[in-house]
Each structure stands twice: as C-alpha cells, then as structure tokens.
Structure 1
C-alpha cells in the first residue's frame, strides 16, 4: 500500500549529487589519513563544532580553516579546513533530478540544505558551468531553505517546521530524504515518512515503493 503525500522534501548534497563522503574518503586515502577521519571530526560536538558554525554562517571560510584544523589536530592529524571545503560539491545525479520532476507533478517539492557561504550560489561550487547546472535544479523546488542564509541548520527541528509552513503542508503528509540519519530523526518525530539515502538506485527504489510514483 502506498500513501498519498502533499510534498516531497529533499536534502541536496549526497542526494542530488554524489556524496561528499566519497570525496572525503578519496582525500583520506591520498593523504594517509585513517578512513572516515573527516566524518569523525565533524561528528564530535556536532551542534557547535567548526562545521556547524560554518553552515550557520557564524564563521567565514578563513576562520573555518583554522577551527577545523585545530579540531583535527586534537584527534592526532593535521588537516586544513580549506582542503575540506574543496571537497563539498559532488557530481549531479540526473536520474534523481528526473525523480524530482516526477514528484513535482504529483505535489509540492522543497529542499532543506545545510550549506556554507562559499562558492557560487547554494551549490558551494567554484565552477561557473557546474554552478549554472545545479542552479537549474534548485530552481525546480517550490521552496528552498539554505542553512547559511537562515542561520539555522539541520537537525534543528525549526528548519523542518519552517519548510512545512512555507509549503503549507501537514508534516504527516510529507516525505523527507537525507543521507544523514541525524537529520532524519526530527522529520520523523514530526510525522514525516523518511528515507535515508545511501545511493542513487536505493533512493529511487525506496521512493517509488513509498509513493507509488513511476520514477524510472
């Protein structure tokens, strides 16, 4: 049995683009860091660390560089924050963009992205062509919330409530997709159906099963 939904709400990085975690792992392999070291740094004090403060625009990229480096050094490795910022913008997943268009034909679509005030636009890329390509995707949403502009980031429950208010939908009639479990819990607590994204094929399969939409 599939449910009827008023809106599908999406994360962006790691959902519409390849996961930054893949880029982190490549960087770790190239520089001799332990696997998942960058994620470990980001998971400590996750609401107030350098990463969280950057995504709320409380610090700029230059300040983040030093703050992240200090956090990494405390765990035994010297990693400049500026290196990490260059790993954030992944490759676009066209099949997921097509799924977004299908969902838009069935109801409302929104995007809640934890991003940083770097790069060109919401995508955080420095490449003009890529920024234009990703801007076309962002333009498809009925409403877009960027943590760096709002000053609130997931998993703060307020950011999900603001999206539902903007879309004028009941949380219990929404689906929320994200590649981080910590960001799914508040949405689930509000009554949203949630999908943890681990890959493109899995996303499409799970969203089709939940909604009944023909996404492929």
Structure 2
C-alpha cells in the first residue's frame, strides 16, 4: 500500500531502500545456486525475519560468525553443504543495481536530495559509498546520494521506529518533506506514523509513476518511452 496524500507538495527528499529496490531481488541469485545443488526451497527465511541476520545487520554479530552459522544451518536442515565461494558470489550478484533505478535517480537528483536507508552489514560500508556516492561502475552518478543510513552503523534496523527518527535527524528536515521507497510492506507503517510519505516498491516503472504522482520532478514514463512520443 502506498501513501499518495499531499501530492501537490513537491517532496524535497527521496529516500530509497537498497536490496529489492535500487538493487534487484536480494534472494534470487542465492536461490538459483541452491536450486542447482538440490535445495528447492528459498533461502529467504534465513534472512528476512531471521534473528541471526537481524543481529548481523545491527552489528551484534560479525560477518564471519554469521556466515559460518548460515552454512551450518542450511546443511543441518537440507543435508547439503554449500560452497562458500558460490554463496559469496551469489550474494555479490544480488547487489547489482537495476539500470532503470540508476536512470530514475539520475533524473531525481537534478531537483531532489537523495538518501539511502538500508538494513545492511558493516562489511558493505565501502560498497555503499562506492555505488551511491563515488560513482563506481554500475553505481549511481557520483554525488547522487547525500546521506547513507546503514543499520549496522546506526545499531537500528527497519522497521524499528527509531531508525526513521534518526533518518529525519540526519536529514535535518521534517517528515512531510520526505518520500521513502521500500519493497517490504512492514517497513512502511512506522515511517508513515511519523508523517513520511511512502511507496511500496514493486518495480521501477511503478515506482516512477508513484513518485511523479507525489509531486516528484520526474517523468511518469521511462525516458525511452517518453522520448518516443
């Protein structure tokens, strides 16, 4: 569900989640590898809503410790020993940014402040800066993102209401000036309760349309389609 109230007010700040929004399916590459070794079920439960992964995302558990525990749990529950390098490669593949979202942010940054709010790990700090601020290949244009809020650094993770309060404090702006885009529905209500407008992401085209409906200065159509008219 999306909040589209106050569409007449141009939102100065657009905040994006990373996995599943700016980047693609966070579980797809790992699920594909696991299917290739005989595990038919998705790996999503080891991440979404999992206590160990939540501890990793707030810095209470180290990456090496989490990784070892994940491999042991999968072997115990599925009878398959996963290859460490293959798992690592799948997780890296899932970080690839969507070209459509790179294009969208490139348009938005001309008129809006852009921020990132992500449940992530301390090990990904350099990756986040490279992709969203330094203009690394495959990332957003250099300087696109004004602020990166990583749960591992904040010691808070979505949907804890405190992380949205901290986001607003760091942005130094009122909630009404912010639109937040996330693919997990459970991450939206705490933001809405503070007065932040939200978009429940399903795909880049839908995100673009809803941002335009909220008053963001961006074409409601992808550039290729808009230029074809």
TM-score range, shorter chain: 0.7 to 0.9
Displacement of 1:180 after TM fit?
Answer: 1.5
> Could you list the per-position Cα deviations for residues 45-73 of structure 1 after superposition, in whole angstroms to 9, with x for gaps in the alignment?
x4xx2211111222222201232235445
TM-score by length of 2: 0.75
Q: Distance in 1 between matches of 2:124 and 2:33?
A: 20
Displacement of 1:34 after TM fit?
Answer: 2.7
Q: What secondary structure is seen at the aligned counterpart in 2 of 1:214? A: coil
Q: What secondary structure is seen at the aligned counterpart in 2 of 1:159? A: helix
State which structure, 1 or 2, has the greater radius of gyration over its C-alpha atoms. Answer: 2
Q: Does 1:87 align with 2:90?
A: yes
Task: Spell out the pairing of 1:1-12 with structure 2 (5 A cutoff).
Answer: 2-4=7-9, 5-12=11-18
TM-score by length of 1: 0.79
Q: What secondary structure is seen at the aligned counterpart in 1 of 2:209? A: helix
Task: Spell out the pairing of 1:21-32 with structure 2 (5 A cutoff).
Answer: 21-32=27-38
Q: Does 1:161 align with 2:162?
A: no
Q: Does 1:140 align with 2:137?
A: no
> Could you list the per-position Cα deviations for residues 120-172 of structure 1 after superposition, in whole angstroms to 9, with x for gaps in the alignment?
713499xxxxx933665573212111122222222221111111112122113
Q: Distance in 1 between matches of 2:83 and 2:149?
A: 24
Q: What secondary structure is seen at the aligned counterpart in 2 of 1:88? A: helix
Q: Which moved more, 1:107-116 or 1:62-71?
A: 62-71
Aligned partner (choices 51, 54, 57) of residue 56 of structure 2: 54
Displacement of 1:106 after TM fit?
Answer: 2.9
Q: Does 1:189 align with 2:180?
A: no
Unaligned runs of 5+ residues in structure 1 are 126-130
Unaligned runs of 5+ residues in structure 2 are 1-5, 224-229
Aligned partner (choices 11, 36, 39) of residue 44 of structure 2: 39
Partner of residue 63, structure 1 = 65
Q: Does 1:20 align with 2:26?
A: yes
Aligned partner (choices 60, 80, 102) of residue 97 of structure 1: 102
Q: Distance in 2 between matches of 1:168 and 1:81?
A: 45
The 8 Å contact of residues 8 and 214 in structure 2, kept in 1 or not, is answered as: yes
Across the aligned residues of Structure 1 and Structure 2, the Cα RMSD in angstroms comes to 3.0
How many residues in Structure 1 have an aligned counterpart in Structure 2?
Answer: 207
Displacement of 1:178 after TM fit?
Answer: 1.1
Change (3 A) 1:85 1:190: farther
Displacement of 1:85 after TM fit?
Answer: 4.5
